[in-house]
Amino acid sequence: MQTTGPITLASYMRMCLTSDVGGYYTGALEEGRDQFGRKGDFITSPEISQVFGELIGIWFVAEWMSQGKPKQGVELVEVGPGRGTLMDDMLRTIRNFPDMAGSIDAVYMVEASRELRIAQKNLLCGEDAPMSESKSGYHSTCKYLDVPIVWMETIRSLPRDPNRTPFIVAHEFFDALPIHAFQVVEVPPPQQTTPSPSNSRAAPSEPKSPTLQWREMVVAPTPLGSTHTSLGTPKSEQHSGPPPEFQLTLSPTSTRHALYLPESSPRYRVLKSTPTSLIEVCPDASLYASNFAARIGGSPQHPKPKPSGAALILDYGPANTIPVNSLRGIRKHQRVSPFSEPGLVDLSADVDFMGIAEAAMKSSEGVEVHGPVEQSDFLEAMGIRQRAEMLVKKAGDGARAREIEGAWKRLVDRTPGGMGKVYKALAILPENGGKRRPVGFGGDIGG
């Protein structure tokens, strides 16, 4: 940055998270490094309780039933699968429904990290299972079902077949996609002069009001000798770490992103009339949502004779507002500055669920969107209490029973900052004129 100048927040996040050299998920900086779980930097819902993944599997079984129980052509797709824990619990659950299990042609895992692909293969196929490479991706065979599991680095590599039924899950995936941040600023009008009829010398014209423009927040190096105090690092993010090497500043001029991203939605445009308005925009989230919707409902570029499939998105963010100032850094289960120790810190931002819904509906006339609903409401409607009680009863008295009890209650915790309140669920389904709401979103199987 010393030679190129400030960079966009999206570029910074992309380099920190997925750079081939030193990326948090793809750099493999440390031997045996694990980002997930109690020994890593953060723990996700599937790692907290097996019941979470089981209920996600049940949700897709319910959708398969509600869509007529197709006998073949079903694809399971997960984007950002982590260690594979969620898919492992889903497949183990779906195996108990032989008719649906028999309808699955393949499982697709969209994963950019080589190390995580291997971890997922070991879990889903077995450590001794071979993994071959082809032009379409990496291949092995599921240990639960006799179907291929195919890994690919991007969703664009996923084959498109209008006769397939894709069931797509994205859990804590959208929060890691790079964002752009913008602020509305008042820009003084250019000084203009007009000729005076009685004097050849120019006379000042009537003063004009300042104009409002979107300006992008960019990432720049911090000044030499900076401290946590001089940078204003929140005390909750200081701990014992060094002062951040970078900081977020306002671009003095319009960037190319500032000219079109805040104009891409009426939800953003309406805020331009208010000075100091802030928004975060995630173009990649719109691309993924559009891709999901087109696979389910078809699109002008990829027509589909009959909409089929479903996408379930579980993540954190506001239900119906645009995220602002939400970028966070996590290391060893503690909040740290997102601008410190690049590549060693997990970065994430709140998900714009309304933006995802807007992109999905805009890209395909063959889909409808349900939610977002709070994770607590979704999981309780799916029967998390009943399933957990069964496991507790089987475990008997003791530490294991208390662990199961504490885990499921953590997932549905509705207190401020609790997972049940902060996390949301959103579903993209085939358009059906509002005749059927999905399970977990106020509906029942087939109704």
Q: Using an 8 Å Cβ cutoff, are 441 and 370 in contact?
A: yes
pLDDT in tens, 342-351: 888 889 999 9
Highest-pLDDT range among 37-51, 187-201, 323-337, 377-391: 377-391
Q: What is the pLDDT of residue 312?
A: 98
Tally of CA atoms within 13 A in the half-sphere of 81 that contains its CB: 36
Q: What is the pLDDT of residue 335?
A: 81
Provide the residue type at 53 as one letter: G
More confident residue, 447 or 379: 379
Confidence of residue 4 (pLDDT cuts 50, 70, 90): low
| pLDDT over threshold 50, residue 9 | yes
- Residue intervals of the chain classified under CATH 3.40.50.150 are 51-176+283-317+362-430
Confidence of residue 447 (pLDDT cuts 50, 70, 90): very low
pTM, 2 dp: 0.89
Q: Which of 30-44, 247-261, 322-336 shows the lowest per-residue confidence on average (mean pLDDT)?
A: 30-44
| pLDDT over threshold 90, residue 113 | no
Contacts of 419 (CB under 8 A, 6+ apart): 45, 375, 410, 411, 412, 413
C-alpha 102/C-alpha 100 separation (Å) is 5
Q: What is the pLDDT of residue 177?
A: 96
Q: What is the pLDDT of residue 27?
A: 58
Nearest Cα residue to 165 out of 19, 297, 2, 255: 297
Contacts of 343 (CB under 8 A, 6+ apart): 16, 19, 22, 23, 24, 27, 29
The Cα angle at residue 10 between residues 7 and 11, in degrees rounded to 5: 50
Q: What is the pLDDT of residue 421?
A: 95
Q: In 10 A of CB 442, how many CB atoms?
A: 12
Helix (H) or strand (E) holding 204: strand 199-204
Confidence of residue 223 (pLDDT cuts 50, 70, 90): confident
C-alpha 394/C-alpha 336 separation (Å) is 40
3-state helix, strand, coil in the chain (%, to 5): 35, 25, 40
Local structure of 386: helix, strand or coil: helix
More confident residue, 245 or 236: 245
pLDDT in tens, 137-189: 999 999 999 999 999 999 999 999 999 999 999 999 999 999 999 999 988 87
| pLDDT over threshold 90, residue 277 | yes
Q: What is the DSSP string of 238-295?
A: HTTSPPPSEEEEE-SS--HHHHHGGGS-HHHHGGGGSTT-EEEE-HHHHHHHHHHHHH
Confidence of residue 446 (pLDDT cuts 50, 70, 90): low
Confidence of residue 41 (pLDDT cuts 50, 70, 90): low
The Cα angle at residue 172 between residues 135 and 365, in degrees rounded to 5: 75
Work out the widest C-alpha separation in the chain, in whole angstroms: 100
What CATH architecture is 51-176+283-317+362-430?
Answer: 3-Layer(aba) Sandwich (3.40)
Q: In 10 A of CB 349, how many CB atoms?
A: 25
Separation of first and last alpha carbons in the chain: 56
Token reading at 360? 């999905």
pLDDT in tens, 362-411: 999 999 999 999 999 999 999 999 999 999 888 887 888 888 889 999 99
